[in-house]
Structure 1
Amino acid sequence: MKVAKNIYLLPLVLAIVAMIALFPTFANDFQNSWDDQWQLLQNPFIVDHSYQSILYHFSNFYHGQYSPVNTLAYIAVYKLFGFDPFAFHAMCLWFHVLNVLLVYFALQYLVRELLPDFSIQRVRVFCFLTTFIFAIHPLQVESVAWISASKVVLYSFFILIALLSYIKYIKTGSWYWLLLTGFAYILAFGSKEQAIILPLLLFVIDYGFGRLKGIKINKGFFLKRTILEKIPFFIMAILFWCFSLVNNLGAIGGGNSYPFYQRLLMSMQSMTEYIFRFIAPVKLYYFYFFPIQKGESLPWYYLGYAVLVLIIAYFIWEHYKRQNNLIVFGFLFFVVNLFLVLHIIPMPRKMFTADRYMYLSIVGLAAILVWYIDYLISKYPQYRKFVITSTAIYLMVLGSHTYIRTKDWQNSEKIKSNVRELIEIRKAEGKGIINNPLEDE
């Protein structure tokens, strides 16, 4: 009985901490100036949820987006509570808490494979700290405190279920779990199109379990099976892609005329900025402007981002050669979840980066950070107290920042002031104002 209590104590703590850090969301209102209007309050599918209406919503895009499963969640809340902002914010926070628990239990399986020398107790602490960061990081505020971003926490919920089911498939070999993975994939895509990336995430999980090493079982059958079993998922991804192109021409693969070399450099900038925001989440904004107008030249210093990416790549490569699978896995999980929003593939996005794009990617960077904390404690035991104290202070600062930033999403006027602040900063720096969201009200 004592063992069982210990197993569920840490997840319970994580759930409570997540709710405390984001508790101010319950006092927030709708964002009446922006997406909450068309996506929820004036969405005809919320009030008119007849069978024909829902069927139409599942087979068509709405305002350039496809999220019928998310709309069903809105309908459920509306039926129970009407247009009460408290209820909708509670829904978002509830799914975030569920995601926190799913991340913790998924990490339990993965970390044991990635760090086989760790004791069970050490694995639990590692998973706890990694999930703790995922739960309370300030970059998570936008996804949870903004009702229109509920698509992010909802699609992440189904993605995490898919990944856990896939892990179960790896552990048991039962095709039931693979079918459940596919079903969760459909629901994830119905929540947000970004879920289309799941097949690549399955390969990341394969890497974590050592299934991509080409182990010679029956002359390579093991590796062949690992590839063949992904074919249905890639077929689903292709069908999702074609569905998006047919129903929302330009949403995928178009709408952005920046030349490839500029998109490549901007992808390097956005990736490094996400890493820096993860480490030091200061000056977070609702809207991040593109660096240049289409047709303009990028400043010469953008080559510095290429240098930074090369340094990061060298760092990952060195750990790969040392067979430090945890670092490689964490980086792959980070990059794959961001891939569609790094601008390598042209997408019609008004903002250059967004905090909500980091929602799942935080897990990868958090795992790397916790590995280094554990490494410092193990390598330099004389500084153990200092490292533990510094880590505790860092986590408290993150949680406090999240609590305060959640209040910034109280209403549209607060968000507008956040955008105006960034506009003034850019003007002072002589930078252009591109796709100003204040002009779209």
Structure 2
Amino acid sequence: MDSQPQQPAHDVALHTRRAMFLLFGLVLAVFGISITFDFVNWDDPWYIHRNPLVQSWSFQNLYGICTETVTRNFAPLTIFSYLIDHSLWGKWAGGYHLTNVLLHGINAVLVFLLVRQITTRHVFALVVAMLFAIHPIQIESVVWISARKGLLSSTFILLSLLCWLKRERTSQDELSGTILFVLALMCKASAVVVPGIVFVYDIFVRRRSFADSLARQFVSGLLAIWFILLTAGSQNSQTGGIRHHLGLNKLEILGIDAVLMWKYIGMLLWPTDLAILYDPAIQGIGLAIAISVFAWGMIAVWIWKTRKSQPLILFASLSALALMFPVLNFFPLTTLMNDRYLYLPCIAFFALMVAAVEYVYHLGVAGALSQRSPRIVELSGLPLKRSAAAHEIVIHYFIENLVFIWNRVNFILIRKLQN
């Protein structure tokens, strides 16, 4: 994930506009069909049909949106978005789906801008954003109307990170990032991990001192703690889901999480067995837990050893872990696994995956060329060529080979949602 030379400003602006149109076009092409879908009998009635707060703009409703919990979640901006939808679309579900699709398109563009800002690599960022935009794992987050809180909070999380994740940031960046972070919290409480991500960036990428990095996140950290206390225990008593794991202790949950993280990686690499509800095994998996913990330990040691030469690998890994932390059941949820849990964490995974493909391709090409003529390697401009070729491999894999998978998974999941 090395940087590349700076381009003229007008070229950057042109490439940015093209990337934005491409990403929005992909999102509309893949998810646009959802505007023909109806509501589903899974949280939608409580968020919309049976929720008096979204039926009118009365002062009582507006006050209730700002103060009340809905389905045991305090997410005033999310509920406010449903009020706007109800005003625009009434009971037409397609309008609510359209809002979700547009939010996902915005998020795809923000992912592109954020990854490019961090890595200074345009094509690399575009490939990562394309994977984020159209991967089948995103179906639940985009097509399920009640998953709006994840989409909307992600918009503000990404915007706040665009302000905060800069090598040099101003006081205006700090203020804007804090405001956007508060807005993210008002959409979904899981945004509390954002200060931790910024802290890691400041320590390992910006090379700031521990004290300075901690001080910069003092206000946002207090806000995060307040929202944690505000929503503590709200998920524990929710109905629905598969809850065999709720009696397990934290050490048992940690072992199961180690196994589930591998399952999540498998779902991202080959998403052919996605579902609305998962019931992963929690008994008789001692060997799987031992192997998983050992493997993650070895990976963690390698990442830590390369932290100085490859700080972005450590940053991406810790960011993914931070974004996953709220759903790892240390604070018990009703389900162990869900596709929507990967909505933002998949960004870091895709970045690492594309970087790994580049690296492996570079090794293969460099090895083959060096055997024939070491001079070819020196004169060929290999870094640029191998990056383009590696990106082409990733795009070919997901655009051509996964078209069939996408169609299959899409309609299977939509039918399940409709039942």
Q: Does TM-score exceed 0.5, indicating one fold?
A: yes
Q: Could you report, residue by residue, the CA deviation over 1:266-322 in whole angstroms, capped at 9, with x for unpaired residues?
A: 221222211111111121000012535xxxxx21x3332332232233224224323
What RMSD, in angstroms, separates the aligned Cα atoms of the two structures? 2.6
Alignment: residue pair count: 383
Distance 2:272 2:407 in 1: 14
- 1:339 and 2:325 are equivalent in the alignment: yes
Q: How does 1:81-100 map to 2 (within 5 A)?
A: 81-100=89-108
Match status 1:393 vs 2:406:
no
- Residues 43 and 146 of structure 2 are in contact (CA less than 8 Å); yes or no, is this contact kept in structure 1? yes
**1:178, CA displacement in angstroms?**
1.3
Tell me, yes or no, if the aligned pair for 2:278 and 2:337 is still in contact at 8 Å: yes
Residue matched to 2:201: 205
- Answer yes or no: is 1:257 the counterpart of 2:254: no
How many angstroms apart in 1 are the aligned matches of 2:298 and 2:305? Answer: 10
- Please tell me whether residue 182 in structure 1 is matched to residue 178 in structure 2: yes
What does residue 378 of structure 2 align with? none
CA contact (8 A) 1:316 1:327 kept: no
Question: Does the 8 Å contact 1:151/1:192 carry over to 2?
Answer: yes
Displacement after TM superposition at 1:186 (Å) = 1.5
Change in Cα spacing, 1:52 to 1:124, as seen in structure 2 (3 Å) is same
CA contact (8 A) 1:136 1:399 kept: no
Q: SS where residue 301 of structure 2 aligns? A: helix
**Distance in 2 between residues matched to 1:380 and 1:155, nearest whole Å:** 41
Q: Distance in 1 between matches of 2:389 and 2:219?
A: 50
Please give the alpha-carbon distance, in whole angstroms, between the structure 2 residues aligned to 1:319 and 1:271: 17
AA paired with 2:416? K
Which of residues 111, 131, 137 is equivalent to 1:103? 111
Shift of 1:377: 2.8
Deviation at 1:409, TM superposition (A): 4.9
Letter matched to residue 259 of structure 1? N
Distance 1:70 1:93 in 2: 15
Equivalent residue letter for 2:101: L
Specify the alignment match of 1:285 in structure 2.
275
Note the C-alpha offset of 1:154. Answer: 0.5
The alignment status of 1:304 with 2:288, answered yes or no, reads yes
Aligned twin of 1:433: none
The aligned runs of 1:78-227 (5 Å cut-off) are: 78-112=86-120, 123-168=121-166, 170-172=167-169, 174-207=170-203, 209-212=205-208, 214=209, 223-227=210-214
Unmatched tracts of structure 1, length 5 or more: 113-122, 215-222, 293-297, 418-441
Instruction: Determine which of 325, 328, 335 is the counterpart of 2:311.
Output: 325
The amino acid of 1:256's aligned partner reads: L
Distance 1:151 1:270, change over 3 A: same
Q: Distance in 2 between matches of 1:160 and 1:364?
A: 13
* Contact 1:155/1:191 (8 A) holds in 2: yes
1:251 deviation in Å? 6.4
Does the 8 Å contact 1:130/1:370 carry over to 2? yes
Alpha-carbon shift at residue 400 of structure 1 (Å): 4.7
Shift in CA distance, 386/126, structure 1 to aligned 2, threshold 3 Å: closer
The 3 A distance-change label for structure 1 pair 87 and 42 is same
Which of 266, 283, 299 is the equivalent residue of 1:276?
A: 266
State the distance in 2 between where 1:67 and 1:201 align: 22
- 2:59 is aligned to 51
Identity percentage over the alignment?
Answer: 24
* Pair 186,400 (structure 1): closer, same or farther in 2 beyond 3 Å: farther
Q: Residue in 2 aligned with 1:22?
A: 31
User: Is contact 1:89–1:147 with CA below 8 Å preserved after alignment?
Assistant: yes
2:417: which partner in 1? 415
1:86-127 CA distances to partner (integer Å, 9 max, x unpaired)? 111110010111111111111112113xxxxxxxxxx21111
Deviations 1:348-384 (A, max 9, x none): x222200001000001100110001111232222596
Which amino acid is 2:406 matched to? T
TM (norm. structure 1) is 0.80
What letter corresponds to residue 168 of structure 2 in structure 1?
K
Shift of 1:235: 0.8
- The one of 183, 207, 223 aligned to 1:236: 223
Tell me how far 1:237 sits from its aligned partner: 1.2
The match for 1:426 is none
Query: 1:85/1:264 Cα in 2 relative to 1: closer, same or farther (>3 Å)?
Result: same
Structure-1 separation of matches of 2:222 and 2:203: 21
Structure 1 residue 67: Cα displacement? 1.6
Query: Does the 8 Å CA contact 1:272/1:305 hold for their aligned counterparts?
Result: no
Give the match for residue 75 of structure 1. Answer: 83
1:353-392 aligned at under 5 Å gives the runs: 353-381=337-365, 390-392=393-395
C-alpha distance in 2, partners of 1:389/1:42?
48
More RCO (CA 8 Å, sep 6+): 1
